[in-house]
Structure 1
C-alpha cells in the first residue's frame, strides 16, 4: 500500500543548478592537497566517521491546523514495508533529458522509484509543453511508494525557468533595494503561484546568501542584499510567502555562498573564515530560517577549512550533523546541491560523494544531469548499505523526514490543466510597480 493511500485512510485531505552544466569531468589522479585547496581527492567511498552523528529528531509531519491527527505510525509502517531499493529511491532527486518522458526517465521513476524530479531550462519550452511534462511525470509515478517532488529553481531574475507565457519576476536584489518585507512575501506568493500552475510542488528558493563579496560570480542580485539584517527580513518573508501557497520552499545555499569568488558549478570554492566570523554574518539568515521552521535546506559545495579541512559542506558531518542539525537544531530535510557540479566531480568520484553526503547527514541527493549519474549514485548507496558502510537505520531517518515533508504538504500526483495566466500575470505586473521607489 502506498503512503498516499495510508495517509488518506488516516484522515488527511486531499533545484541553483545550471541547465547547461557541462559533461561531468573524469576524476583526476590523486594529488596532494595544496594550501589553497586542501580537499583530498578520492576515488572510493569513505568509511563511516568514527563518531556517530548526534541523534536526529524527525521533522513534525503534522500540518498546521491538524494537531489532532498523528500520522507518525503510518509513516513508520510504510518505511518498515519498503524494500531498501525503494528507500534509496526516495533519497534521489534527479534531472532528466528533453521535454518529454523518455525511456530512461520512465526507468528512474518506475524502477528506481526516485523521490523527485527537477526541471531546468532545457526541459521547458512552452507552457503547454511544461504542463504536459509535469503531468506525464506524475502519471509515471502511479503505484509508487510516495508522490514525487516535482521541483524547479524559480527565483526570479536570471534564475527563472518558467516559459515566456509568464510575466517576469525580477531578481531578489531588486526587491532588496526597496527594503520592503511585504513585497518580499508577495514575491514568494507569486513565485509559488507560478510554479503551482505548471504542476510543480517544490521551489528551490529563497536564496539566503548574503552578497558580501563583489567578485562573487554566482550570487550577485540573487541575494536580497549585503547585510544579514536585510537578508533575514526579506528572505524569511519570501520563504513564508512560498509556504503559504502550498509549495515547499528550499532555502539555500547553507552555510553561505555569498563570500565566494569561484563558481561551484565549475570548481570548488574555498572560504577561509573562522566559525566566529561565519556566525556573525553568513549563518545568521539560516539560523533564523531554522527558528521559523524551515522545511528544507540546500547545502552548498564549499570548503570551509577552519570547520572541516577535508570535505566541502555538502559532504561534511561537521557542518551538516554537528552544526546545522546539532547547534542550530534543524529537524527538516537536508538536500545537497547538484552532485554533478564541477566542485564535486573534479575532486571526488560521484560514488564516494554520494556515500559521504549520506554519512554527513544529507537526506536527499540532487543528481541533476545524466541517467548514468543517477545509476552510479543509486548503486553506490545500495552497495554501501549492504557492505555496512551506511546503516539501514540511517537510511530510515532520511526517508522518514522525506515522507513527513510530503505528507505535511499533502502532495499528490494529481495532473493540472493548462492554466489561464491572465490574472496571475496581472498580479505580477501590479506587484512589480508596488515596491519601486
Structure 2
C-alpha cells in the first residue's frame, strides 16, 4: 500500500516506533498519563516499553495496559506491542512482592540444565502475559568472554558459546513455544567482549569475522534456527565489519550479516536510541534514520517525549525527501504486521500468577547452581 496522505505517513511511521513514558510522580508513571496518551494519540506508536517506573501491582498494570490497547483500537491502530526487559537478576522490571525474582542468567547457566532456562522463560512469560505484555527483550545471547565487561557479566549464561546457544534456544522455546510470548535475543552481534558500557559511550570491538563466527554468532545462529521472533541490535563499533558505523546503524551488519548471511527474517529492533553509544555522536533523530537505512524494523526510545517526537519527525522527513524509500518502510511494516497477527492475542492467557510455584522454581535453580 502506498502512502497517499500525510495522515497515512504519520501512522505508518508510528508503527515503526516503540517508546516508553515517564511521569512527574511515581503514581503518574504507573498510569496512562499525558506522555502515554501522546504516544498513542499523537505519535501513533506501534508499541510501548514498560520500565520499572511503569510497573504497579498486577491489577494496576493490567488495567493500565488494557486502557492503552483500547485507546489504540479506538484510533483504528493495530494492537500495540507491549514490551519490557525481564531477564531475571539485576535486569528485572517486574519485581517482588507482586512478581517473582528469577535468577540471573549465569545462575541458570551454572546448572548446565537447559530445561531450567526453558522453565524460567515460560514462567516469566506467564507473569508478563497475565498483565497484558506480549514481548520480552530476552534472552541475552551475548557470550561473556571479557571479564572486564561492565554491562553484560552475569546477564549472560556464560563464557562458552555452545552453552549460551543451548540455553538461549531453550529460553526461546519457553517464551514462544510454551507461552506464546515474543522473545528478543540481544545484543546483536554480541556485547560480551566490551570494556565500555554502551549506555555511556560507544564501545569498539576489533575482531574479525572468523572470530565472530566461532564465538559471538554461535548463539544467534542457534536461536534464529529455533524461530527467534525478534533481535535487538547493539550500539557497538565492530571495526572489521564496519569501520565507521556501530551495528545499530550499519547496513553491512544488519542487512549484510544478519539478513543476508544468517538469513534472519524476523523483527530487528534497535537498543534504546537515547543511549550515548549512538546519541552522543549522531543524535537520536539522525541515528533513527540511519538505523532504518541499515535494516532495522523498530526504533526503541525509552524515556524522553521531546526526543521521541524528534525521532518521528526525522523519519517522516527522510521519507518525504526520498532518503528512505516507501518500499523500505513497507518491508518493515509487513514484518511488524505479521508478528502482531501471530503473537498478539486480545486477552492474557492466565488470570492469576502462580507466585508460589514460580518462587519455588527460582529457589530450586539457585540451589542447584550452588551445588546444594
Q: 1:129 aligns with which of 50, 54, 60?
A: 60
Q: CA separation in 2, counterparts of 1:302 and 1:415?
A: 36
The TM-score normalised by the length of structure 2 is 0.92
Check whether the contact 1:334–1:362 (CA below 8 A) recurs between aligned residues.
Answer: yes
Q: CA separation in 1, counterparts of 2:312 and 2:175?
A: 31
Check whether the contact 2:204–2:239 (CA below 8 A) recurs between aligned residues.
Answer: yes
Deviations 1:172-191 (A, max 9, x none): 11010011011111111011
In the other structure, the counterpart of 1:154 is: 86
Cα RMSD between the aligned structures? Answer: 1.9
C-alpha displacement at 1:155, in angstroms? 0.5
Q: CA separation in 2, counterparts of 1:298 and 1:365?
A: 10
C-alpha displacement at 1:420, in angstroms? 3.6
For structure 1, the residue ranges without an aligned partner over 5 or more in a row are 1-75
Q: 1:402 aligns with which of 327, 336, 350?
A: 336
Distance 1:141 1:415, change over 3 A: farther
Is residue 86 from structure 1 mapped to residue 14 from structure 2 by the alignment?
A: no
C-alpha displacement at 1:303, in angstroms? 0.4
In the other structure, the counterpart of 2:309 is: 375
In the other structure, the counterpart of 1:312 is: 246
Q: 1:213 aligns with which of 122, 143, 146?
A: 146
Q: CA separation in 2, counterparts of 1:104 and 1:94?
A: 10
Deviations 1:49-79 (A, max 9, x none): xxxxxxxxxxxxxxxxxxxxxxxxxxx69x9
Deviations 1:98-124 (A, max 9, x none): 111122321220232100000111112
In the other structure, the counterpart of 2:190 is: 256
SS of the equivalent of 1:141 reads: helix
Is residue 237 from structure 1 mapped to residue 170 from structure 2 by the alignment?
A: yes
Q: 1:355 aligns with which of 276, 289, 292?
A: 289
Aligned length: 358
The TM-score normalised by the length of structure 1 is 0.79
For structure 2, the residue ranges without an aligned partner over 5 or more in a row are 23-28
Distance 1:163 1:129, change over 3 A: farther
Q: 1:117 aligns with which of 48, 63, 72?
A: 48
Task: Say which one has the larger Rg.
Answer: 1
Q: CA separation in 2, counterparts of 1:80 and 1:227?
A: 51
Which structure shows the bigger proportion of residues in helix conformation?
A: 2
Check whether the contact 1:91–1:115 (CA below 8 A) recurs between aligned residues.
Answer: yes
Is residue 389 from structure 1 mapped to residue 323 from structure 2 by the alignment?
A: yes
Task: Decide which moves more: 82-91 or 202-211.
Answer: 82-91
RCO (CA 8 Å, sep 6+): is it higher in 1 or 2?
1
C-alpha displacement at 1:145, in angstroms? 2.7
